[in-house]
């Protein structure tokens, strides 16, 4: 479905931005107690790279994504997009959350149009909404309301809503976490295809080691909270990848070892 | 992190919605009669009502008995013809079929009413007028009644629109801005729960006219629930929606107009519904006490003259107007909130 859509889709220039995460530390105040969540996190991402962030549940990966998106400011450290410090949200860095969070009062088309409408350019750029819907294979559902969609379709709409803005950095916060395993496998392939086609830089938070290895150029493994980087692993396999690849199995064992879960494997 | 608050907010919206929906939903009497059977019985019942008007002599002096009987026969004929024409009338027929049990029961009720008042006076007479005397009011006192209706609708509409608009804007402001909330919230807590009718004595001598005083009171009665519900609606919008909009480049005005308000709209309609109910009460009391026009005044005037038929006639009109207004509000809501179909139970 996507392959077909890709063949017809409008071509965009490869637009990935570089991202520098420079000595980021962050903490939350909870009932007067300071809870450190990120501890001196330092890494950089080349334009067009696909990075997966892996770590135990609640370690602060999602917080890091919120900082990259500009939804919150870090307690210390700087984030740079193409060398410029991140000071707030901007449509060049778009997030797809774990819940699709589509606006229930808007149709699919109007949900996808949200970004262009918010930026005041929808009137002249309507065809971009159609193209984005085409890209995720949901053109026939343009007039449907979110409650009429399945979980996978809703997440595809959320993806289209992000892609319509031609992001330089696509931020994926466990976007497939709540989908059934079959839809997950399909959408993993779709995400790779979209990323290769569009060339945006991608940051993916996931709990799924296999997913990280199937999708990413590099997997960054975090420790328990407060999160610090435990390992930065290059996944040196070409795309399209195969889940049975012995090299990926080897990497998975390494990563599970880093997370302290190798005994169960 | 905000999943808990999201589900809580949704649950709240749903329960409030369902409460309102229950009020607006007509009870579904699911009789299953053979097609047309009930229609024929309804027709017969209306003939029976017409005969009951003519069979016995009236014990009082009413001028519209014969016309009432004639009207009953015309209705009976119309029901019969429509039933016989059946499916050729299409949707109208379907509607008739659905309402046939009600037509039947109302004819029986009217017959009982007629016999119990005009014919045998089982109910004491000046207080329980027969149907024909109410028809008499509608035909003979029509100009005065129409004037009253017009005055009531004008007063109600003005006050309600002002109250709803002010309430909505206040609700959005306190839901959105902490500093507005800081100043308005205590005032709202102090003044809001006071029944608007308690202001009547003060309002009538501080305002230049009784009309402006009543408009103010109706607006007040409408404004409080609209404010509170709009506020809670805006305050319970999930942060996730704002996050999404912000990462897509939304400015604060977009967040208010395109995120907060649409998300709060189901609550706003509950507020509008509650405001409508309490403003009706204020309208009638204000008209009975100070305003020299309107249906409330008409009721008061009729009571002064012991014109009981006029009171019933005015009450019937009043109830039609109120239920019409509520129906209109629900139709508007159903149109605007079409997206809720399937999300909540209607």
Concatenating the DSSP letter of every residue in B225-243 gives HHHHHHHHHHHTS-HHHHH
Q: Is the pLDDT of residue B1 over 70?
A: no
3-state secondary structure of A43: strand
All residues of chain B having their beta carbon less than 8 Å from the beta carbon of residue A104 are 339-340, 343
The percent of residues in chain A predicted with pLDDT above 70, rounded, is 93
Integer Cα distance of A174 and A190 in angstroms: 15
Q: Is the pLDDT of residue B233 over 80?
A: yes
CA-based nearest residue in chain A for residue B237 = A103
Q: Which of A121-125, B301-305, B323-327 reaches the highest mean pLDDT? A: B323-327
Integer Cα distance of B201 and A236 in angstroms: 84
B248 and A165: CB-CB below 8 Å? yes
B241 and A69: CB-CB below 8 Å? no
Q: State both tokens at B209.
A: 């006219």
- Tell me what pLDDT residue B292 has: 82
> Which residue reads 């962050």 in tokens?
A26
All residues of chain B having their beta carbon less than 8 Å from the beta carbon of residue A57 are none
Domains in chain B with CATH codes:
37-127 (no CATH), 142-340 (1.10.3720.10)
- Tell me what pLDDT residue B98 has: 84
The answer to whether the Cα torsion of A81, A84, A85, A90 is positive or negative is negative
Concatenating the DSSP letter of every residue in B296-311 gives HHHHHHHHHTT-HHHH
Q: Is the pLDDT of residue B343 over 70?
A: no
The answer to whether the Cα torsion of A263, A209, A175, A58 is positive or negative is positive
> Which residue reads 């995720």 in tokens?
A136
- Tell me what pLDDT residue B33 has: 45
CA angle, corner A12, sides to A9 and A16, nearest 5?
Answer: 130
- Tell me what pLDDT residue B341 has: 75
- Tell me what pLDDT residue B35 has: 57
All residues of chain B having their beta carbon less than 8 Å from the beta carbon of residue A143 are none
The percent of residues in chain A predicted with pLDDT above 90, rounded, is 17
* pLDDT class of B228 with cuts at 50, 70, 90: very high
Q: What is the pLDDT of residues A177-224, one digit of tens each?
A: 888 888 888 888 888 888 888 888 999 998 888 888 888 989 998 888
b/e code A243-260 from CB counts within 10 Å (16+ = b)? eeeeebeebbebbbebbe
- Tell me what pLDDT residue A30 has: 86
CA angle, corner B36, sides to B34 and B40, nearest 5?
Answer: 115
Q: What is the mean pLDDT of chain B?
A: 84
Parallel/antiparallel/unpaired status of strands A218-222 and A19-30: unpaired
CA-based nearest residue in chain A for residue B261 = A105
Q: What is the pLDDT of residues B7-42, one digit of tens each?
A: 444 444 444 444 444 444 444 444 444 556 888 899
Q: Is the pLDDT of residue B221 over 60?
A: yes
Best mutation target among B233, B248, B268 (most A Cβ atoms within 10 Å) is B248
- Tell me what pLDDT residue B319 has: 92
Integer Cα distance of A161 and A133 in angstroms: 8
- Tell me what pLDDT residue B172 has: 94
Parallel/antiparallel/unpaired status of strands A93-96 and A229-234: unpaired
* Sheet hosting strand A19-30, strand order edge to edge: A33-45, A19-30, A76-81, A84-85
Range list of H helices, chain A = 2-8, 61-69, 108-112, 114-118, 126-135, 151-163, 181-198, 209-215, 246-258
All residues of chain B having their beta carbon less than 8 Å from the beta carbon of residue A165 are 248-249
Q: Is the pLDDT of residue A7 over 50?
A: no
Q: State both tokens at B206.
A: 């501080």
Shortest alpha-carbon distance between residue B342 and chain A (Å): 7
A145 and B339: CB-CB below 8 Å? yes
For the purposes of burial, counting CB atoms within 10 Å of the CB of A119, is it exposed (0-12), middle (13-18) or buried (19 or more)?
middle
- Tell me if the bond preceding A226 is cis, omega within 30° of 0: yes
Concatenating the DSSP letter of every residue in A76-123 gives EEEEEETTEEP-S--TTEEEE-SS----TTS-HHHHHTHHHHHTT-TT
Q: Which of A69, A99, A103 sits opposite B247 (nearest CB)?
A: A69
Integer Cα distance of B125 and B340 in angstroms: 51
Q: State both tokens at B153.
A: 């609708």
- A and B: number of Cβ contacts within 8 A: 74
B40 touches chain A (CB under 8 A): no
Q: How long, in residues, is chain A? A: 265
- Tell me what pLDDT residue B19 has: 43
Q: State both tokens at B79.
A: 């029901």
Q: Which of A128-132, A162-166, B140-144, B162-166 reaches the highest mean pLDDT? A: B162-166
Q: What is the mean pLDDT of chain A?
A: 85
B3 and A119: CB-CB below 8 Å? no
DSSP state letter for A175: T
CB A139 within 8 A of CB A133: yes
CB A213 within 8 A of CB A219: yes
B251 touches chain A (CB under 8 A): yes
For the purposes of burial, counting CB atoms within 10 Å of the CB of B90, is it exposed (0-12), middle (13-18) or buried (19 or more)?
exposed
Q: Which of A206-210, B2-6, B162-166, B250-254 reaches the highest mean pLDDT? A: B162-166
Q: State both tokens at A52.
A: 């997966």
B248 and A91: CB-CB below 8 Å? yes
- Tell me what pLDDT residue B13 has: 41
Q: Is the pLDDT of residue B87 over 50?
A: yes
B336 touches chain A (CB under 8 A): no
* pLDDT class of B274 with cuts at 50, 70, 90: very high
Q: What is the pLDDT of residues B38-61, one digit of tens each?
A: 888 999 999 999 998 888 888 888
Across-strand partners of A20? A44, A80
Shortest alpha-carbon distance between residue A190 and chain B (Å): 22
All residues of chain A having their beta carbon less than 8 Å from the beta carbon of residue B254 are 117-118
Q: State both tokens at B181.
A: 């909330």
> Which residue reads 């509607």 in tokens?
B95
CA-based nearest residue in chain B for residue A95 = B247
B241 and A101: CB-CB below 8 Å? yes
Please tell me which residue, B275 or B137, carries the higher pLDDT value: B275
Q: What is the pLDDT of residues A12-71, one digit of tens each?
A: 445 788 888 888 888 888 888 888 888 888 889 988 899 999 888 777 888 888 899 899
b/e code A10-45 from CB counts within 10 Å (16+ = b)? eeeeebbbbbbbbebbbbeeeeeeeeebbbebeeeb
Q: State both tokens at A206.
A: 């996931």
Q: Is the pLDDT of residue B345 over 80?
A: no
- Tell me what pLDDT residue A12 has: 41
Q: Which of B240, B250, B337 sits opposite A97 (nearest CB)?
A: B240
What's the helix, strand, coil split of chain B in %, to 5? 80, 0, 20
Across-strand partners of B344? B341
Q: Is the pLDDT of residue B189 over 70?
A: yes
> Which residue reads 């012991």 in tokens?
B306
B254 touches chain A (CB under 8 A): yes
All residues of chain A having their beta carbon less than 8 Å from the beta carbon of residue B247 are 69-71, 89, 91, 93-95
Best mutation target among B6, B249, B342 (most A Cβ atoms within 10 Å) is B249
CA-based nearest residue in chain A for residue B239 = A101
Average pLDDT over residues A85-101: 88
Q: What is the pLDDT of residues B112-149, one digit of tens each?
A: 998 898 888 888 878 898 888 888 888 888 888 899 89
Integer Cα distance of A80 and A86 in angstroms: 6
CB A130 within 8 A of CB A164: no
Architecture in CATH for domain A10-103+168-259: 3-Layer(aba) Sandwich (3.40)
* pLDDT class of B90 with cuts at 50, 70, 90: confident
- Tell me what pLDDT residue A41 has: 87
- Tell me what pLDDT residue B162 has: 96
Please tell me which residue, B3 or B234, carries the higher pLDDT value: B234
All residues of chain B having their beta carbon less than 8 Å from the beta carbon of residue A203 are none
B240 and A101: CB-CB below 8 Å? yes
Integer Cα distance of A155 and A138 in angstroms: 11
Please tell me which residue, B26 or A92, carries the higher pLDDT value: A92
CB B223 within 8 A of CB B165: no
Q: How far is CA B338 from each of CA A105, B29, B331, B341, rounded to the nearest angstrom?
A: 8, 25, 10, 6
Domains in chain A: boundaries: 10-103+168-259
Integer Cα distance of A35 and A25 in angstroms: 11
CB A62 within 8 A of CB A71: no
- Tell me what pLDDT residue B329 has: 92
Q: State both tokens at B170.
A: 């206040």
């Amino acid at each position: 479905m996507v392959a077909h859509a890709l063949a017809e889709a409008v071509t965009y220039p490869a637009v990935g931005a570089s991202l520098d995460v420079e000595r980021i530390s962050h903490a939350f105040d909870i009932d007067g107690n300071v809870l450190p969540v990120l501890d001196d996190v330092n890494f950089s991402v080349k334009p067009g790279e696909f990075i997966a962030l892996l770590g135990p549940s609640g370690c602060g990966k999602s917080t890091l994504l919120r900082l990259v998106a500009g939804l919150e400011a870090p307690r210390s450290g700087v984030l740079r997009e193409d060398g410029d410090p991140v000071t707030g949200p901007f449509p060049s860095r778009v997030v797809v959350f774990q819940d699709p969070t589509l606006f229930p009062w808007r149709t699919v088309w109007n949900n996808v149009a949200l970004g262009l409408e918010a930026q005041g350019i929808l009137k002249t750029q309507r065809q971009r909404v159609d193209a984005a819907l085409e890209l995720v294979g949901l053109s026939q559902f343009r007039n449907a309301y979110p409650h009429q969609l399945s979980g996978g379709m809703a997440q595809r709409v959320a993806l289209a809503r992000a892609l319509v803005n031609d992001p330089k950095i696509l931020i994926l916060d466990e976007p497939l976490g709540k989908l059934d395993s079959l839809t997950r496998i399909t959408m993993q392939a779709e995400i790779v295809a979209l990323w290769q086609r569009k060339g945006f830089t991608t940051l993916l938070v996931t709990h799924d080691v296999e997913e990280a290895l199937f999708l990413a150029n590099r997997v960054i493994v975090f420790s328990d909270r407060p999160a610090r980087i435990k390992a930065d692993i290059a996944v040196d396999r070409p795309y399209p990848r195969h889940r049975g690849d012995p090299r990926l199995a080897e990497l998975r064992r390494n990563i599970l070892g880093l997370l302290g879960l190798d005994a169960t494997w | 992190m905000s999943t808990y608050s999201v589900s809580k907010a949704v649950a709240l919206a749903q329960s409030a919605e369902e409460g309102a929906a229950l009020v607006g939903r007509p009870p579904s009497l699911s009789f299953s009669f053979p097609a047309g059977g009930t229609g024929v019985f309804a027709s017969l019942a209306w003939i029976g009502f017409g005969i009951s008007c003519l069979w016995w002599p009236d014990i009082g002096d009413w001028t519209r008995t014969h016309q009432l009987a004639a009207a009953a026969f015309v209705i009976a004929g119309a029901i019969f013809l429509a039933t016989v024409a059946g499916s050729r009338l299409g949707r109208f027929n379907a509607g008739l079929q659905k309402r046939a049990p009600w037509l039947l029961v109302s004819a029986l009720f009217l017959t009982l009413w007629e016999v119990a008042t005009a014919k045998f006076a089982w109910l004491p007479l000046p207080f329980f007028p027969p149907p024909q005397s109410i028809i008499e009011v509608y035909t003979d006192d029509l100009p005065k009644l129409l004037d009253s209706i017009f005055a009531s609708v004008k007063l109600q509409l003005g006050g309600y629109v002002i109250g709803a608009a002010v309430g909505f804007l206040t609700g959005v402001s306190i839901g959105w801005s902490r500093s507005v909330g800081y100043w308005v919230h205590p005032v709202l807590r102090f003044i809001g729960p006071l029944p608007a009718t308690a202001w009547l004595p003060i309002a009538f001598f501080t305002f230049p006219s009784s009309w402006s005083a009543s408009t103010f009171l109706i607006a007040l009665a409408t404004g409080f629930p609209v404010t509170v519900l709009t506020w809670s609606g805006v305050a319970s919008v999930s942060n996730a929606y704002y996050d999404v909009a912000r990462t897509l480049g939304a400015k604060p005005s977009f967040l208010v107009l395109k995120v907060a308000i649409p998300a709060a709209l189901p609550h706003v309609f509950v507020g509008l519904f509650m405001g409508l109910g309490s403003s009706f009460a204020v309208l009638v009391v204000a008209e009975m006490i100070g305003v020299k026009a309107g249906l409330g005044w008409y009721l008061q005037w009729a009571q002064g003259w012991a014109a009981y038929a006029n009171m019933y006639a005015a009450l019937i009109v009043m109830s039609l107007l109120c239920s019409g207004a509520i129906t209109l509000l629900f139709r508007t809501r159903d149109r605007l909130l079409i997206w809720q179909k399937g999300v909540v139970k209607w």
